Amino acid sequence: MSARNGDHMMVAFECDLCVFVKLKGRYPIVNSSKDRKLIACIRRVNLDAFWSRATSTINNNLRSIKKILLASDELDLPSPFVAHGPMPREDHCGYQIAISMVLASLRPGKHSKAYTQFDTIRNLRTAFGAFEMSSSANGDRNLTVSSSGNTCKDILRSPTSSVWFRHFYSGCRSRMGQVYKPNLALSTELIVNILKLARKDIYSATDRQAKFDIVIFGTYVAVAYVLSLRGSEGLMLNLSSINKEWDRFDLCVVIALKGKVKGESNVRDHMFPCCKKTKSGIDVKLWLSLMRLAHLSMNRKEGPAMTNMEGEILSVSKLDEVLHSYLIRLFRDNSEFPLEIKNEEEIEDRYSVFRSLRRASDTRALNQNVSSNDIDVVNRWKTLEAAKGKKPGRSMRQHYAEFSLLKEPFLRYTSSM
């Protein structure tokens, strides 16, 4: 990739040496490896800025400029293209952040050992922008652009908001491309087999710590799958509320989550009626009973339920480690996996408790012909997330329905899992 004739007519351009002097305050040292690396990075970000525009756009713009110059020459007029003088001495375009992004892209990433994806390195711009927004340069500014709906946009001053940086950002994204590997849904058969393995491990484990951890993991998988919960939501399982509601119903159990769900403004209890045993054989009540006994052995009757023996709430990454270990065991035993999964490394890439269990639940609901109304009731948090804190766009029936009375939709959904 190289510069094209006419690039500099559409993108602000400073030569590599000028940018180097801006950033370092001196000329490069010939024998310095760091200086050579910096010059290479500057060349890279300049080329990315140039390649934010398609070649056809550059060529069309260049032809138009030539026509303007020919017209001026024909009428003996001065050129309308006026030189506005040298660029500012400071890094007003955000070259340093652009260079940091390029360097970060060269490190091993999640999906490739050769590079880090653009979706990851772009967070550097976000971090710098957040700092600038809170700095003295912008912290006391109150200039905004108002629009309908009582929304405002702040007017900020930041190098990463410059025209040049936006060109670099677009060109870098186009050059690197974006590899999208969403979490795959676990099949119901795999989930059932994971829970079977976990139960065997509980009864065969001699270490108290190992037994406790397996119980908590199995409970998490069962509850998150049956109730279509995302990773962080499953960690909100509340021990005191579950104990309080344990004997309330004969035909179901009440699963209680405590916390603030994305899109809500207050911490509160979320109560979900759930069948005791699902159609696929997942014994939800058994796993909740094992979880209660595990915490009772530690003299705990209240607080968060998804913890280690010390009472510290587990992380999604910790649960992922356990999930991957069970999936790898099943993979080695020739259990059925999707065609996309060809080796153990892809298991770690494509499965996570963050979304795989919810997607598995959603897929199962469709395969079992669960009504769209029941799915909407159980998955109502999705509409809250999409509304970004505003009143979600549900039907009027759902707005006025009292969720504490919606036992039947929850039982129909959970029993089909």
pLDDT computed for residue 149 by the predictor? 58
Token pair in block for residue 410? 């929850």
Q: What is the pLDDT of residues 252-267, one digit of tens each?
A: 898 888 876 544 455 5
Longest dimension (CA), the chain: 95
pLDDT, tens digit, 9 for 90 and up, residues 132-149: 877 766 655 566 666 665
Supply the DSSP symbol for 271: E
Q: How far is the C-alpha of 226 from the C-alpha of 271, rounded, in Å? A: 14
C-alpha 351/C-alpha 185 separation (Å) is 7
Burial of 104 (0-12, 13-18, 19+ CB in 10 A): middle
pLDDT value at position 131?
85
Question: For residue 261, what are its two tokens?
Answer: 């769900």
| pLDDT at residue 260, rounded to an integer | 64
First to last CA, the chain: 53
Q: Where are the alpha helices (DSSP H) in 297-406?
A: 316-332, 344-350, 356-367, 372-378, 380-387, 396-400
pTM for this structure?
0.68
DSSP notation for 206-263: --HHHHHHHHHHHHHHHHHHHTT--HHHHTTBBHHHHHHTTTS-SSEEEEEEEE--TT
Instruction: Read off the amino acid at residue 287.
Output: W
Q: Quick one: tokens of 26? A: 């001196």
* Residue 194 C-alpha from the chain's centroid: 26
Long-range Cβ pairs for the range 396-404 (8 Å, 24+): 401/377, 403/377, 404/271
**Helix 16-24 crosses helix 33-50 at what angle (to 10 degrees)?**
120
DSSP strands (E only) in 10-164: 144-147, 151-154
pLDDT of 140 reads 57
- Backbone dihedral region of 132: left (phi > 0), alpha (psi from -120 to 50 degrees) or beta? alpha
pLDDT per residue rounded down to tens, the chain (417 residues) = 677 888 888 888 899 999 999 999 999 999 999 999 999 999 999 999 999 988 999 999 999 999 999 999 999 999 999 888 888 889 999 999 999 999 999 998 877 778 898 989 999 999 998 888 777 666 555 666 666 656 667 667 788 889 999 999 999 999 988 777 778 899 999 999 999 999 999 999 889 999 999 999 999 999 999 999 888 888 999 999 899 888 877 888 988 888 765 444 555 678 888 999 999 999 999 999 999 999 999 999 999 999 999 999 999 999 999 999 999 999 988 777 887 888 888 898 889 999 999 999 999 999 999 998 888 888 765 544 444 444 444 443 433 334 456 788 899 999 998
| Packing angle of the helix pair 208-226, 356-367 (nearest 10 deg) | 40
Q: Which of 192, 127, 138, 186 is nearest to 160 (CA)?
A: 127
**Is 392 in contact with 384 (CB distance < 8 Å)?**
yes
Q: Which helix (H) or strand (E) covers residue 253, if one does?
A: strand 252-259
Map out the domains of the chain with their CATH numbers: 7-80+87-176 (no CATH), 188-415 (1.10.443)
Three-class DSSP category at 72: helix
In angstroms, the CA 149 to CA 244 distance is 43
